[in-house]
């Protein structure tokens, strides 16, 4: 069945450094990939989405490129801020499908 | 401003009691969801509702049921709650985008503790 894998449970780094959060997926359908961000005691919110192969999508300083050849949609930022500390979920949906499959999430902890 | 609301935000129940979690949305979205979130397990789908009285089981429906009598409201019911149903429950609604995706909007969550 369809699945999403986020290999890191926790990523800790210092403010100003670059970050990459890994996301790979498995599906036999045409994929739509999402990144959701959840700050402490808040609801998850959509950060990025893409279904276009090899096209970079950006929002709020974060960016990701869907690579269908490697089934990946890694989230990156060139310089993390303290406010980026949160739980990040990668999610997969089939185009025009109601159901979304979430990865287990990666906690990003940014140190001063 | 598009919004999903959940009531109550915090709830403590004893094992065996019935639990009703309420969700509302003001966006006229057809599709709504109930998830539970546990540490290290991410978001697990309990039920999907495609519209009024059109509901489908998600990945972990056992011990739960739902009700949707109006498009704006979606309820999650636990009949005879169990301690392993202690969790944070999120409701979401989704909007179809012309690009082909269902973008989800989440409520603030309900923290349920079953003693």
- Residue B97 confidence (pLDDT): 66
pLDDT of residue A112: 96
Residue B106, class by beta-carbon neighbours within 10 Å (0-12 exposed, 13-18 middle, 19+ buried)? Answer: buried
CA B96/CA B89 separation, integer angstroms: 23
Inspect the interface and report whether the beta carbons of B50 and A98 lie closer than 8 Å.
yes
Please name the residues between 34 and 93 in chain A that touch chain B, using a CB distance below 8 Å: 34, 36, 42-46, 49, 51, 89, 93
What is the CATH classification number for the domain harbouring B69?
2.60.40.10
What are the C-alpha distances in Å from A31 to residues A25, A105, B71? Answer: 9, 19, 28
Q: Does B31 touch chain A (CB under 8 A)?
A: yes
User: What pLDDT sits at residue A97?
Assistant: 67
Mean pLDDT to the nearest integer, A6-11: 95
What is the rounded CA–CA span in Å between residue B25 and residue B71?
8
Q: In this complex, how many residue pairs, one in chain A and one in chain B, have their CB atoms less than 8 Å apart?
A: 55
Query: Nearest-CA residue of chain A relative to B58?
Result: A99
Q: Which residue of B has its CA nearest to A102?
A: B43
B54 touching chain A per CB within 8 A: no
B45–A45 CB contact, under 8 Å: no
Looking at 2.40.160.20, 2.40.10.120, 2.60.40.10, 3.40.50.10190, the CATH number of the domain A3-111 comes to 2.60.40.10
Q: Is B42 within 8 Å of A100 when comparing Cβ atoms?
A: no
Range of the domain at B54: 4-114
DSSP B20: E
The pLDDT > 70 percentage for chain A reads: 97
A29-66 pLDDT, tens per residue? 888 999 999 999 889 999 999 999 999 999 999 999 99
Q: Is B21 helix (H, G, I), strand (E, B) or coil?
A: strand
Q: Can you tell me the mean pLDDT for A71-90? A: 97
| Number of separate domains in chain B | 1
Q: Is the pLDDT assigned to residue A95 strictly greater than 70? A: no
The pLDDT of A98-105, averaged and rounded, is 88
Length in residues, chain B: 115
Q: Tell me the pLDDT of chain B (115 aa) as tens digits.
A: 678 999 999 999 999 999 999 999 998 888 999 999 998 788 999 999 999 999 999 999 999 999 999 999 999 999 999 999 999 999 999 877 666 677 889 999 999 999 9
The nearest CA of chain A is from the CA of B17 a distance in Å of: 26
């Amino acid at each position: 069945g369809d699945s999403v894998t986020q290999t890191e449970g926790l990523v800790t780094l210092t403010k100003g450094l670059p970050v990459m959060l890994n996301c790979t997926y498995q599906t036999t359908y045409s994929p739509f990939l999402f990144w959701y961000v959840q700050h402490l005691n808040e609801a998850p919110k959509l950060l990025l989405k893409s279904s276009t192969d090899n096209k970079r999508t950006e929002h709020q300083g974060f960016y990701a490129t869907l690579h269908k050849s490697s089934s990946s949609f890694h989230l990156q930022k060139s310089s993390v801020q303290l406010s980026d500390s949160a739980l990040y979920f990668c999610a997969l949906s089939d185009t025009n499908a109601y159901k979304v499959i979430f990865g287990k999430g990666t906690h990003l902890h940014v140190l001063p | 401003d598009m919004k999903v609301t959940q009531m109550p935000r915090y709830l403590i129940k004893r094992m065996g009691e019935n639990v009703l979690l309420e969700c509302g949305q003001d966006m006229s979205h057809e599709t709504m969801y109930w998830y539970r979130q546990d540490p290290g397990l991410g978001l697990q789908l309990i039920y999907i509702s495609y519209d009024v009285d059109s509901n489908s089981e998600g990945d972990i429906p056992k011990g739960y049921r739902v009700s949707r009598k109006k498009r704006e409201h979606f309820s999650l019911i636990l009949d005879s709650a169990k301690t392993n149903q202690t969790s944070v429950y999120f409701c979401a609604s989704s909007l179809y985008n012309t690009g082909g995706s269902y973008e989800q909007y989440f409520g603030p969550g309900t923290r349920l503790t079953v003693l």
